[in-house]
């Protein structure tokens, strides 16, 4: 049984086209920007693209579809590279 996953959706319209303002810092080891301590979503830093406005975010349980699981299994089989 896969663990339950959650999606973040807009509390106004239910869209998952949402963003969270956060800080990133440079990781010299991976040579990538990595998210700093993740900020808790609030109405101050959460934005919904559908509403074109700030919003609050809700967690909704989300199930991998069989197609997603198949693709993930194929990716794992054929792409031996480390996940980023």
Gap between the Cα atoms of 11 and 49, Å rounded: 12
Q: Per DSSP, what are the bridge partners of residue 58?
A: 9
Q: Which is nearer to Zn ion, 3 or 15 (CB)?
A: 15
Least distance between Zn ion and beta carbon 53 (Å): 7
Residues 40-59: x/- map of binding to Zn ion (CB under 5 A)? --------x-xx--------
Helix ranges restricted to H, 3-81: 66-78
Gap between the Cα atoms of 76 and 72, Å rounded: 6
Least distance between Zn ion and beta carbon 48 (Å): 3
The residues that touch Zn ion, with contacts defined as CB under 5 A, are 10, 12-13, 15, 48, 50-51
């Amino acid at each position: 049984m896969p663990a339950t996953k959650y999606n973040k959706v807009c509390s106004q319209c239910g869209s998952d086209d949402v963003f969270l303002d956060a800080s990133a810092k440079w990781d010299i080891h991976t040579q990538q920007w990595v998210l700093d301590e993740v900020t808790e979503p609030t109405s101050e830093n959460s934005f919904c693209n559908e509403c074109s406005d700030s919003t609050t975010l809700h967690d909704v349980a989300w199930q991998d579809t069989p197609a997603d699981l198949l693709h993930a299994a194929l990716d794992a089989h054929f792409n031996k590279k480390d996940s980023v």
